[in-house]
Structure 1
Amino acid sequence: MSEKVTVLVAGSWGTALASVLADNGLQVTVWARSEEQVAEMNQQHTNTKYLPDAVLSTQITATSDLAAAMDGTKAVVIVAPSKAMRQVCSDLKPYYHPDMLCIHATKGFETKTLKRMSTVISEELGCLESDVVVLSGPSHAEEVVKRLPTTVVVASHNAKAAAAAQSLFMNEDYFRVYTNLDLVGVELAGALKNIIALGAGMVDGLGFGDNAKAALLTRGLAEMVRVGSEMGANPLTFSGLAGIGDLMVTASSQHSRNWRAGYMLGQGKSLDEVMASMNMVVEGIRTTEAARDISLKYNVQMPIAEQLYHVLFEQSDPRTAVETLMGRNPKNEMEVMKLETWQQWHS
């Protein structure tokens, strides 16, 4: 009998990752709260709310019974929205034991505490944060479920755990997986790039052209590196799949919820109107709120995140936000982070 892996929850990305695992010959159980969604996945082998064009493997079984979902599982893959992560892990705790491989694929912060997802998971499950694995990188669920070539990274402070996650997900036909020991950097890159993707969509919605978008992405990456280095990440991680790679795909595709939300904002829609038109979580909105508090906590300048905060939560005009960024005092391009931090990572 094939090994069992459990995926929580049945959103678009969770379903796409379940599809990869099923293609790798694993017995996959997906947990969802909705009985209607469970019935559809088991009987029709579809998940039309999140991936309307996808036909799922019969190797995937769905259930709303968390005890049954976790029974006999080798690994748990948690893909809950950031705002629901603590509650999902609290529900999971009675069925989790330390021998299980714990992987998450959520890109965001817990807004009130500013904690990364691996910290939230370790607090709720009682496991070591160093044993948690994060899966991230440039990967639209809509393309993964169609088996289009995709490359991601799995990161953990525990090299054995990262290698085990790599082995679970690696598919030579279409899903290539690299490992990385910089858990902090990969988590931060995955979360922070959503802010820049929102900004990129806004620039496109305003019709400001390729020059403006290229500038925003470049300076946005510098902003990500600056705050990441202050929070203990390796700056080089941001030049990899979780950083530049994910930023490119999220900021340039209509598959991206963050880009679409930003585009609508640029066209003059309010945040309430944007959210009403989306049927899935837009992590960049919550991350922008968290990033503003992070910039204050760590005394790091995040001008793009700051202006997006004003647009999202203070009803500032998007054009005014761009004009403010353009009118900032002259800077040296290489003022990315403290010199001693850069030297530390290159020593």
Structure 2
Amino acid sequence: MNVKKLKRVCILGSGGWGSVIARIIARNVLSMSKFHPKVTMYVFEEFLDGRKLTEIINKEHENVKYCKGYQFTHNLVALSDPVETAKNADYIIFVTPHQFIDSLCKTLHGKIKPRAVAISLIKGFEVKNTGGIDLISHIISKKLNIPCHVLMGANIASEVVEEKKHCTSTLGCKNSKRGAILKELFETEHLRITVVADEDTVEICGALKNIVATGAGFVDGLGLDNRMKEAIIRLGFLEMIKFVDYFYPGGRISTFFESCGIEDLIVTSYAGRNRKCAAAFITSGKSIKQLEKEMLNGQMLQGPPTAEEVGYMLKNENMTHHFPLFTVIDQICQGQTPASDLTRCIESNIGKRTCTPKNLKP
């Protein structure tokens, strides 16, 4: 076997989800003949009790901060330099907070293989100077001049790593041959992957559901009953469909019923850090930034910043009246309106047929 011809994989990001995915991939490549056994992972360097986190991972084979109690296979190598991590990789997996993607791509530009393939697991958008938003996969693809696929789904890192529950994800990949390879790379007995060609819809679902989950957390913090949470999930789901229908025509309605869509929305609205911190925002009187720092062990929220990005776009498009739930969640996050306005928004829209897709395929 010519080792030089084996495909190499790297993971950019080492938070909870990044560490879980790195653990899966490092184990999977050992049984896949097409892949080089060495997997590299970019770690934002931190010091724990005077020791570098990369040093701890490489010596103890465990991310003691973000994935404590779960061992990596010895073929996973942690590095503190993203260029060194990605320069030889054929498959580059992005699992960083979406706020860092622009600077990361600038760092990697011209320093990776020209035929590399990217896979984004990042949930969020980036605001464009023109007043709209851009998908993270589009940014990666444009800035690095490589194709970028997406993986989103109804999974919580702590549940996937425990391997006690059956979890699912949706891989958006237009290239069916490559999709089959990536499915094998990510899939385990307890994490099942479905491949669809509708990449943009998969990614948009992954971002928008965090806005709805934030609203679900507000419902919990306000002490409202389950009927109100059910209503907010329904309204949020309809606004997700409407958003794709208006701004990304050509997607498929069926994608919303994959793991990345309704399933992920429900899971995140009842669990996950966006719901938890949003509930605490109502009950504690603390700011979202303060709660993020106190509750998330160095991880970042995606719901509030995504709501702000979407709100910015809707204002510029004069479309806020078509997305009342997204709008009021953003306003509550920014302190522009009281949380009680969420109740009025839900009550005024219950029973309305708020979404009749015109541009989505079956």
- Percent of aligned positions that are identical: 26
Moved over 4 A (4+): none
Q: Secondary structure at the match of 2:270?
A: coil
Q: Matches of 1:145 and 1:59 in 2, distance apart?
A: 18
Deviates more, 1:35-44 or 1:184-193: 35-44
Q: Matches of 1:68 and 1:274 in 2, distance apart?
A: 34
Deviates more, 1:212-221 or 1:31-40: 31-40
Q: Matches of 1:282 and 1:111 in 2, distance apart?
A: 17
Q: Matches of 1:212 and 1:202 in 2, distance apart?
A: 11
Q: Secondary structure at the match of 2:151?
A: strand
Instruction: Give 1:54's match in structure 2, choosing from 70, 86, 93.
Output: 70
The 3 A distance-change label for structure 1 pair 268 and 302 is farther
The 3 A distance-change label for structure 1 pair 28 and 274 is same
Q: How far 1:110 moved relative to its partner?
A: 0.8
Instruction: Give 1:41's match in structure 2, choosing from 50, 57, 76.
Output: 57
Q: Matches of 1:6 and 1:249 in 2, distance apart?
A: 28
The residue aligned with 2:326 is: 305
- In the alignment, is residue 16 of structure 1 matched against residue 33 of structure 2? no
- The residue type paired with residue 28 of structure 1 is V
Q: Is the 8 A contact 2:93 2:120 kept in 1?
A: yes
Q: Matches of 2:264 and 2:348 in 1, distance apart?
A: 28
The answer for unaligned runs of 5 or more in structure 1 is none
Q: Secondary structure at the match of 1:76?
A: strand
The TM-score, its normalising length taken from structure 1, stands at 0.90
Instruction: Give 1:110's match in structure 2, choosing from 121, 126, 144.
Output: 126
Q: Matches of 2:288 and 2:42 in 1, distance apart?
A: 31
- Deviation string 1:263-282 (CA, Å, 9 cap, x unpaired) is 11231423343233233110
Q: Secondary structure at the match of 1:95?
A: coil
The answer for unaligned runs of 5 or more in structure 2 is 31-36, 47-51
Q: Is the 8 A contact 2:83 2:107 kept in 1?
A: no
The residue aligned with 1:153 is: 170
Q: How far 1:220 moved relative to its partner?
A: 0.7
The residue aligned with 1:319 is: 340
The residue aligned with 1:28 is: 39
Q: Is the 8 A contact 1:133 1:165 kept in 2?
A: no
The residue aligned with 1:241 is: 259
- In the alignment, is residue 137 of structure 1 matched against residue 153 of structure 2? yes
Q: Matches of 2:235 and 2:87 in 1, distance apart?
A: 47
Q: Is the 8 A contact 1:20 1:175 kept in 2?
A: no
Deviates more, 1:257-266 or 1:65-74: 65-74
Q: Is the 8 A contact 2:7 2:90 kept in 1?
A: yes
Q: Matches of 1:73 and 1:95 in 2, distance apart?
A: 11
The 3 A distance-change label for structure 1 pair 324 and 168 is closer
Give the CA RMSD over aligned residues.
2.1
Deviates more, 1:238-247 or 1:22-31: 22-31
Q: How far 1:99 moved relative to its partner?
A: 2.2
The TM-score, its normalising length taken from structure 2, stands at 0.86
Q: Is the 8 A contact 1:228 1:234 kept in 2?
A: no
